[in-house]
Amino acid sequence: MHGEYKVPGGKLVVVDLEVHDGALREVRVAGDFFLEPDEALHAIDRALEGAPADADAQALAARVKAGLPAGTVMFGFSPEAVGIAVRRALARATDWTDYDWQLIHEGPQHPALHMALDEVLTDEVAAGRRPPTLRVWEWGSPAVIIGSFQSLRNEVDPAGAARHGVTVVRRISGGGAMFVEAENTITYSLSAPASLVSGLSFADSYAYLDDWVLTALGDMGIKAWYQPLNDIASEEGKIAGAAQKRLASGAGAVLHHVTMAYDIDADKMLDVLRIGKEKLSDKGTESAKKRVDPLRRQTGLPRGEIIDRMLASFRARYGLARGHVTEEEMARAEELALTKYSSEEWTARVP
């Protein structure tokens, strides 16, 4: 069995192993990490030898820690990363490069249609009828997108939304509300087979699926990092928020979507969103205006160029061919946008 885990912002950990009578055997750990002293690598292998095959990542990490020589230095990885790589091997997880990724980047669309396309395309990936897909959104109108479990009345001021022509929609994933405007926002979705995140905890999968974005931002001069559970942050403030939904149909799939602030009309946002004091204090800030630091200011680049550079970074790492939404997919999405995502029953399902 073979498993790989790229540490977000760090190095690659590779594990090859066998399982006999419910225990790990012939364990070999490798990677492009840094490790001192040399004999620590063999100590890691020995620590994992004989471990129960059903041990979770934390238990495996504990065995690694206990087996390391005194004074060991691990740079670019950790005992936890080794544990995750082992679990991915046992789960027969796939890697980004195992797939022919497809890019969908089409014209502006209604917010409800974006919600529906996420559901339809991810369902198609789960069924094996569509390759893993990276979709970049273009917005047809300003919108507030609330999380699947958020209270509508607690998150949105209906008078403010009406005043600014803002459409309110609810997505299928959890997380918090997002205020978006067409030229001020960069939004994308990943629709991928569930096997891509096999062996990862729910929290670890966020960092894993966001890692390519951190590299792309770094190439644009932004030192960014993953901030648990679902933020991408920099020294200047929050850049983006992510959300996920797992679909169990077919072979299973994961939907991971991210909204990034290119620019922001903070006054309008505050007129539409009801941002509570607890949320602000949790982020350690005095004002909602200080919570998000837009990419426009940090890069000085046009929105379109940032998107192009992000796609180029993804393509260089994993490959990316241009694709499109099929007629059948669009027909399903349009029906779903009308019957579900534009309905009061769905939008106000948590009043």
According to the model, what pLDDT value does residue 288 have?
A: 52
According to the model, what pLDDT value does residue 276 have?
A: 53
Q: What is the DSSP string of 152-168?
A: HHHHB-HHHHHHTT-EE
Alpha helices, DSSP H, located in 245-318? 266-272, 277-282, 295-299, 303-318
Instruction: Identify which of 112, 180, 114, 169 has the alpha carbon closest to the alpha carbon of residue 146.
Output: 169
- Specify the amino acid at residue 272: V
According to the model, what pLDDT value does residue 154 have?
A: 96
According to the model, what pLDDT value does residue 292 have?
A: 79
According to the model, what pLDDT value does residue 289 have?
A: 53
Give ∠ CA 55-60-64 in degrees, rounded to 5: 160
According to the model, what pLDDT value does residue 9 have?
A: 84
According to the model, what pLDDT value does residue 235 have?
A: 87
Q: In angstroms, what is the C-alpha Rg of the chain?
A: 22
Quote the distance between the C-alpha of residue 140 and its chain's center: 24
According to the model, what pLDDT value does residue 168 have?
A: 98
CA distances to 63, 108, 136, 188, 334 from 322, in Å: 45, 17, 12, 15, 22
According to the model, what pLDDT value does residue 291 have?
A: 64
- Specify the amino acid at residue 154: N
According to the model, what pLDDT value does residue 290 have?
A: 53
According to the model, what pLDDT value does residue 278 have?
A: 42
pLDDT in tens, the chain (351 residues): 999 999 988 999 999 999 999 999 999 999 999 999 999 999 999 999 999 999 999 999 999 999 999 999 999 999 999 999 999 999 999 999 999 999 999 999 999 999 999 999 999 999 999 999 999 999 999 999 999 999 999 999 999 999 999 999 999 999 999 999 999 999 999 999 999 999 999 889 999 999 999 999 999 999 999 898 899 999 888 999 999 999 887 789 999 999 999 999 999 999 999 985 445 444 443 445 556 779 999 999 999 999 999 999 999 999 999 999 999 999 999 999 999 999 999 999 999
According to the model, what pLDDT value does residue 277 have?
A: 41
Residue in the block written with tokens 């200047």 = 236
Q: Is 292 within 8 Å of 237 (Cβ atoms)?
A: yes
According to the model, what pLDDT value does residue 280 have?
A: 47
According to the model, what pLDDT value does residue 122 have?
A: 97
